[in-house]
Amino acid sequence: MNYLALDASTEACSVALEVNGKMYSHFELCPQSHSLQLLPMIDGLLKEAGIKLADLDGLIFGQGPGSFTGVRIGVGVAQGLAFSANLPVVGVSSLQAMAQAAFIKQGETKVIATIDARMAEVYNGYFELDEHNIMQAQLAEAVTPPEQFAEHLAKQLPRVINDTFYAVGTGWDAYPTELGEKLLSLKTNQASPEILFPSAEAMLVIGKGKLTQGQGVSAENAQPVYVRDTVSWKKLPGKE
């Protein structure tokens, strides 16, 4: 089975391709140039693997949360490619992808992922490894002020707040004080997280399982997941 995954939900832009069990990937930090980079990256991987879009069995995209613009670009490209080749598509959370990368790279099984959401907030999620070696969300992904994150965890999943975890994502460095001493003391990786951004490689691992289970949808039904349901201009003076 051949699968393509793409992500543009954060400052990073990445593509991964699995062809007959062999992985090809490209990852690049390119803030504000995803629309220029994503399609050439995809074309380059297809050429490297020697296949065409029509040879794929499914397409996986980063559904967010993250940058509103980046998420929209990723979903739009996924829809366009899926329409042209009549491929099923499936979305994967950017937070879940970082948690999956922590298992792939470090063998971690309990992960808290945060992304700097700007506007003094963090996108966040808590994940644990399931019996199929996939990191699964243990509570709904949310966006909260960093100083309220520990309280949010304690209310939603009390067993977590006194347990150690592995930290991934940009939120930890963006709000090292606001996240609070309690959470920071439970991090097993006390330094800056090694995994700061989601990757298409990790999304491919998660997404291909969904596709083989029949969870793929048609291109027109590919949907972003913003978590935050308002955009920044609504909070500017006079725009509340």
Instruction: Provide the CATH topology of domain 95-186.
Output: Nucleotidyltransferase; domain 5 (3.30.420)
CA distance 90 to 78: 9
At residue 212, the 3 state secondary structure works out as helix
Q: List the structure tokens of 57.
A: 């069995």
pLDDT score of 239:
36
Please state whether the peptide bond connecting residue 31 to the residue before it is cis, i.e. omega within 30 degrees of 0: no
Q: What pLDDT score was predicted for residue 228? A: 86
DSSP letter at 165 equals: B
Strand-pairing partners, residue 135, are 129
Q: What is the domain class of 3-94+198-235 according to CATH?
A: alpha beta
- pLDDT (tens, 9 = 90+) of the chain, 240 residues, equals 999 999 999 999 999 999 999 999 999 999 889 999 999 999 999 999 999 999 999 999 999 999 999 999 999 999 999 999 999 999 999 999 999 999 999 999 999 999 999 999 999 999 999 999 999 999 999 999 999 999 999 999 999 999 999 999 999 999 999 999 999 999 999 899 999 999 999 999 999 999 999 999 999 999 999 998 754 434 434 433
How far apart CA 66 and CA 74 sit, in angstroms, is 11
Q: What integer pLDDT is reported at residue 235 of this predicted model?
A: 40
pLDDT at 121: 97
Parts of the chain belonging to CATH 3.30.420.40: 3-94+198-235, 95-186
Give the pLDDT confidence score for residue 31 in this predicted structure.
87
What are the angstrom distances between the C-alpha of 208 and each of 64, 80, 167? Answer: 17, 19, 25
Residue closest to 93 by CA, chosen among 175, 172, 218, 199: 199
Closest CA to 204 of 115, 95, 92: 92
